[in-house]
Amino acid sequence: MVDVSRHDVVIVGGGGAGLRAAIAASELNPEISIALVSKVYPMRSHTVSAEGGAAAIARDDDSLEMHGYDTVKGSDFLGDQDVIQYFVEQAPKELTRLEHWGCPWSRNEDGSVATRAFGGMSTKRTWYATDKVGFHMLHTLFQTSMKFGNVDRYDEHFVTKLLVDGGVCRGVAALDIRTGEMKAILGKAVILTTGGGGKVWPFTTNGNIKTGDGMSLAYREGVPLKDMEFVQYHPTGLPGTGILITEATRGEGGYLLNNEGERFLVTRDYGVGNKAELGPRDMISRAITQEIAAGRGVEIPGKPGRYAHLDLRHIGEEKIMARLPFVRELSKAYANVDPVHEPIPIRPVLHYMMGGVDTDIEARTSLDGLYAAGEVACVSLNGANRLGSNSLTECLVFGARAGEHATEYIKGASVGEEGPFVQQAEAEAARIDAFRGRQRGGEKIAKVREDMNTAMEDGTGVYREQASMAKAVKDIAELRQRFEQVSLDDSSKIFNTELIAGLELGNMLDVAEAVTWAAVQRKESRGAHACSDYPTRNDTEYLHHSLVYHSPEGPRFDKKEVTLGVWEPEERKY
Amino acid sequence: MKTLMLKLEPVIWLLFSGGMMIGGLLLPVFVLVVALGGGLGVVGGEALGYDRMLALVTHPIGSLVVLAAMALPVWGGAHHLRHLWIDFGGLGSDSLVGFLCYGTALASSIAAILAVVRLHA
Amino acid sequence: MSELRPRVDAMKPRAPMPTRTADPRPPDKFPSRGRYPSYLAFGACGAFLLLSAQLLIRGVWALGDGEAAWDAYIVSFGHPVYLAYHVAAFIGLTWFALRLFRLFPATQPNRMGPMKRPADAVLVAGLYGVFFTVLAVGTLFLGGALL
Amino acid sequence: MSEKLKKTFIVTRFDPDKDEVPKTQTYEIEVEPDWKILDALNHIKDTVDPTLSHRWSCRMAVCGSCGMTVNGEPKLTCKDPLSSYGDTIEISPLANFPIVRDLVVELEGFMEKFQEVKPWIMVAKERAVEEGTTRQSPEELADFKGFSMCINCMLCYSACPVVSNEPEFLGPAALALGHRYNQDTRDEGSHVRNAVFRDEGAIFSCSFANECSEVCPKNVNPSGAIQQAKLANVIDWATSFVVKRGEDVS
Ligand SMILES: Cc1cc2nc3c(=O)[nH]c(=O)nc-3n(C[C@H](O)[C@H](O)[C@H](O)COP(=O)(O)OP(=O)(O)OC[C@H]3O[C@@H](n4cnc5c(N)ncnc54)[C@H](O)[C@@H]3O)c2cc1C
Ligand code: SF4
Ligand code: F3S
Ligand code: FES
């Protein structure tokens, strides 16, 4: 028998989006009971690692119109314009709320909140707290959430299935990692805020927990994943580890150099115009990739591959310590380089998934009772390329929206007959027990994961080819077969991290399938999807979102309209 | 006892931290000159003579300094010793040990005050 | 003092733990490893604070009892046990003070009144300066060489 | 590729279903010279022994999950370089915490203490968004910024000798974070927090061992925060007899 608990709203994920949703729901109605389920303690969520900042207009020389236009252009016109308008309007309010809750935003001399320049943003509108913005936002949100008595946390609980019956979602099945027992956590609405899935790729800024679980959970219940082909490569990751060096380094004036010490973004035409280092990420990542391909990459003794140099020396120690102390700490600890005295070797690194669970502007998915927000969702704010610092704000704006809308929704909803949901959780418990009990000697989790990483790197890198994408589709299908043969060495119930890694691998394969499927379908180059066989954007055939549906026979592909109406698509040139 | 001790923790802590500072600054001088210098006879009889000492200690500033050097460090010492005991796992007997430590400190401070007041009487 | 164990309930939650746990371990090789001996010696110097302050009280009390009592008090310090204690006390108290002043800056807020807190090294140097000045001037003054 | 080095890891293992008390297991593996301790553990888990359990996520010293004891010292293993050790390295769970399994410790005790210090902005009346952001000078920010850098990695709890012995002690990180809010110009709840701090053993049992600040990987300086908080507490306590206070903040 599984343990059954009952709540009104069940939130899966304790990162920026999940915590914001919990606070929003709690503030709107302090009477309801909220479950916050997270596979790690909330303050470990990967929002913690965001460095650079969160965007919202703050200065007199800025406007909603400008932030909106920058975002639409950054998205290569694939962002939904109603969503973008709503987002830019809400953004300053959300960051102000966070200020009231104690977020230690960096300040100007007069005591107002300071803002910095960021890629693709036409003025300084990125709020920051030195270079640990995600950390401060997450801890502020988590600590603030602790004051609400009606938020019940399920820390270190791994959600393995959405409980869906009769077309409505009414809870989740969660594995208590500590005890190894399955729980049915029932509610009248479920909000997915499980973050992205960067760990599908080998070289990524993402932490161990970013395995796309929520995308897989929704996908398996028939909810489409949208725009999955668009994954963002951040221009500046450290060699080996892929640890991020924030775009704020360039916002504060850093240069990108090739092995000849040349500022190639200024001297050569990579489409970023006079924005130079502050161009959008897709373009800069391509520029670095081309520099390296042209033989102008920097070599590091003892390390494979070629890099570019990120040079901060001219910024000076004082400003680096005031604005970018974490960058200095990371460079020293993980690349053995002190940016005050030496340039930092970097190369493009997988960073962010623009795609995700398809939602409307209210954060609703196509499944009744299921919401999604944050990186797991695709509300179509980011289109084909996200602008740096929009996504932390996105977590707040749409996390709050999801929390509020779900609180409204449950007024008219009931769990109804509990039986079927509990039975599903019991079946899920049996499935997990069987997985844990699989005989030794089969495929190893680490090996299958490694092969998946390789397939995805080859098929869906900064530049893509039809042939390599098609191969990746095939590879992933094969890996799914191999995953069926995976076995565990650890049969213990208590804190079995091998079991978790196995479940995560299954989820990542779902994500990988959707990404590769969506990628082969898009025969154009738009935003982060740079297809060598089709180097230009094709608005007549491809100005649409892509949807991938799960089905037992294999994925099904579909399209969805892009909402235009304010800004007309035009050539994307800076 | 324990409850009272915990109620008064803010005061005890204040006396303790003051005692550490004052004791650390002043007691080495006392130990060096009076105890060692006097004991070994290296500091002249005149300097440590009764009249000079009485004059020093009864001078208003002298009274205050010597009072601080007596009444505060005892709290610094007592508090340290109680914590040392806890560090070695003695929390169970904290009531007794605390009573002994702070009792000694309290008695010593009272004696210190009396000693000075007596000189002025 | 064979092996010091932390209390098993030290960091145990009030809510019951869902699975059996192993008891917490003490910080590795407490109290002999790393900086622990220095910290414990610092605490033990509390004994010098307490005893030396009490000896000072005895002295002031003797002043009140008259010249003979005071002279006897000074003479008593010639006893080898006292001499040994005071050598130890002088070293102990000096080390105590220097350690205290070294750690002191960390305990100060970022701003002291309207001033920004000086760099830690500056504060420590200042405090060491004060300590040695008090020691020197105090010794000369009390010893009769000044005034 | 750089040449391989061999190192021996002596790792604490504990399976509550099988073991009465923790034991150790020895792994000898080849490592890369620029690895961190965590890389070695992950290598062991991926290729040698998948049953080894430990927590980690960000591998960039910011999520706070990978704290362990390495050769006796509490360390953030994703930042602690292998090169600073010899050929044999002992890895055990953080001290002072009940051990759940292998290198995983029980954190709920901390979470309860953390909740007690009310680590959020307390105000009598919530500010409206329309009022805009609060003004706070860079100096006012600097007064608490350092204390807000805590990643809850628990190294300080593991090093503090008082934590071992005093169950009521709130401990370095929780107190530093409580003090962080007391120091924030936007907060009005310091009287409430100070009353919590004054509870039995909660703050005054800290004996200024300073170990917390020595081991803290983020320079939070909890020992300083605690001593400052104690002084502020004494003042608050003394004035509380003179000035009556409404405690209507939340
Ligand atoms: C290194 C780095 C730097 C970044 N810098 C910036 C920046 O400067 N500006 C910006 O705007 N954006 C930045 N981003 C992007 C941004 O940080 C993320 O998009 C955002 O934090 C995602 O937040 P989230 O709440 O959606 O998910 P996360 O913070 O990833 O949280 C996911 C939550 O879901 C839980 N969860 C996941 N799966 C399960 C499951 N199966 N069961 C239960 N719980 C589960 C996790 O425990 C976690 O609590 C950065 C990203 C990275 C990786
Ligand atoms: S104060 Fe430092 S050591 Fe303690 S939990 Fe916070 S970051 Fe870790
Ligand atoms: S180590 Fe412990 S005793 Fe106090 S100064 Fe730090 S909390
Ligand atoms: S893994 Fe996140 S702090 Fe080490």
What DSSP line would sit under D24-72, residue for residue? EEEEEEEE-TT-BHHHHHHHIIIII-TT-------SSS-S---EEEETT
Average pLDDT for residues B34-38, to the nearest whole number? 95
Which residues neighbour B45 within 8 Å (Cβ) at sequence distance 6 or greater? Answer: none
Q: How many CA atoms lie within 13 Å of B81's alpha carbon, on the beta-carbon side?
A: 22
Which pLDDT does position A416 carry in this prediction? 86
* A134 CB near ligand 1 (under 6 Å): yes
Residues A427 and D241: their CA atoms lie apart, in Å, by 62
CB pairs under 8 A between B and C: 184
Whichever domain contains C76, its CATH number is 1.20.1300.10
Closest Cβ opposite residue B87 in set D161, D234, D237: D161
Quick check: B89 contacting D, CB < 8 Å? yes
Q: Which atom of ligand 1 is nearest to the CA of A507?
A: 41
Q: What are phi and psi of D6, to 5 degrees?
A: -100, 135
Residue C32 falls within a domain, yes or no? Answer: no
Q: Indicate if ligand 1 lies below 6 Å from the C-beta of A237.
A: no
Mean pLDDT value of segment B7-14 = 91
Count of domains for chain D? 2
Q: Does B10 touch chain C (CB under 8 A)?
A: no
Burial class (CB in 10 A: 0-12, 13-18, 19+), A424: buried
Distance from CA of D57 to the nearest CA of A (A): 5
Domain spanning B2-120: CATH 1.20.1300.10: yes
Q: How far apart are CA A175 and CA A425, in angstroms?
A: 10
Q: What is the pLDDT of residues A444-470, one digit of tens each?
A: 999 999 999 999 999 999 999 999 999
Q: With cut-offs at 50, 70 and 90, classify the pLDDT of residue A440.
A: confident
Identify the residue among D19, D120, D154 best suited for mutation to test binding to A, counting A beta carbons within 10 A and taking the highest: D120
Task: Give the residue with greater pLDDT, B30 vs A303.
Answer: B30
Domains of chain A: 3-230+354-421 (3.50.50.60), 236-348 (3.90.700.10), 435-541 (1.20.58.100)
The DSSP-derived string for C58-84 is: HHHHHHHH-HHHHHHHHHHTTSHHHHH
Q: Where are the alpha helices (DSSP H) in chain D?
A: 37-43, 108-116, 138-145, 155-159, 161-165, 172-182, 190-198, 211-215, 222-240
3-state secondary structure A444-474: CHHHHHHHHHHHHHHHCCCEECHHHHHHHHH
Please give the pLDDT value at position D247.
63
Tell me whether residues C17 and D98 touch, CB distance under 8 A. Answer: yes
Residues 58-117 of C with CB under 8 A from B: 59-61, 63-64, 66-67, 70-71, 74, 76-79, 82-83, 86-87, 89-90, 93-94, 96-97, 100-101
Residues 6+ apart with CB under 8 A from A412: none
Q: Are D125 and D146 contained in the same domain?
A: yes
CATH code, domain with D22: 3.10.20.30
User: One digit per residue, pLDDT tens: chain C, 147 residues?
Assistant: 335 678 889 899 999 999 999 999 999 888 888 999 999 999 999 999 999 999 999 999 999 999 999 999 999 999 999 999 999 999 999 999 999 999 999 999 998 888 888 999 999 999 999 999 999 999 999 998 876
Task: Count up the domains in chain C and report the number.
Answer: 1
Q: How far apart are CA A48 and CA D64, in angstroms?
A: 10
The secondary structure of C98-137, three-state, reads HHHHHHHHHHCCCEECCEECCCHHHHHHHHHHHHHHHHHH
pLDDT tens track for A280-297: 999 999 999 999 999 999
Q: What pLDDT digit, counting tens, does each position of A132-154 carry?
A: 999 999 999 999 999 999 999 99
Q: Among A265-269, A394-398, B62-66, C28-32, whose mean pLDDT is lowest?
A: C28-32
* A494 interaction partners in chain C (CB closer than 8 Å): 19
Distance D153 CA to ligand 4 centre (A): 8
Find, among A109, A114, A138, the residue nearest to A126 by Cα: A114
**Measured between alpha carbons, how far is D40 from D48 in angstroms, rounded to an integer?**
11
Among D105, D126, D161, the domain boundary falls at D105
Longest dimension (CA), chain C: 74
pLDDT confidence bin for D246, thresholds 50/70/90: low
pLDDT (tens digit per residue) in A344-358: 999 999 999 999 999
Same domain, D113 and D234: yes
Alpha carbons D84 and D74: distance in angstroms, whole number: 14
Calculate the average pLDDT of chain A.
Answer: 97
Which chains sit next to C, with 3 or more Cβ pairs under 8 A?
A, B, D
CB contact under 8 A, B87 and D233: no
The dihedrals phi and psi of D41, each to the nearest 5 degrees, come to -60, -45
Q: How far apart are CA A389 and CA A55, in angstroms?
A: 5
Instruction: Tell which of D105, D140, D160 closes a domain.
Output: D105
**Is the distance from CB of A142 to CB of A70 less than 8 angstroms?**
no
> What is the value of pTM for the model shown?
0.97
Give the structural domain span for C79: 40-109+116-139
Which residues have C-beta atoms less than 6 Å from ligand 4?
D 56-59, 61-66, 76, 78
Res A214 pLDDT > 90: yes
Give CA–CA dist C85/C77, Å, rounded.
10
How many Å apart are CA A285 and CA A244, to the nearest integer? Answer: 13
pLDDT tens for each residue of A240-278: 999 999 999 999 999 999 999 999 999 999 999 999 999
Burial degree of D18 (CB within 10 A; 0-12, 13-18, 19+): exposed
Nearest CA in chain C to D168: C10
Between CA D22 and CA D41 the distance in angstroms is: 18
Q: How far is D145 from chain A (nearest CA, A)?
A: 7
Crossing angle (nearest 10°) for helices B60-71 and B9-30: 110
Q: Out of A160-164, A312-316, B42-46, D54-58, pick the least confident.
A: B42-46
Range A389-408 average pLDDT: 98
- Any domain includes C147: no
How many angstroms separate the Cα of D105 from the Cα of each of A221, B8, D214?
Answer: 35, 35, 21
For residues D203 and D113, membership in a common domain is answered with yes
Residue C1 domain flag: no
Show the domain range for D214.
Answer: 108-249
Asked whether residue C26 is domain-assigned, the answer is: no
- Residue D1 is predicted with a pLDDT of 45
Helix-then-strand count for chain A, H and E: 16, 24
pLDDT at C112: 83
Domain endpoint, select from D55, D84, D105: D105
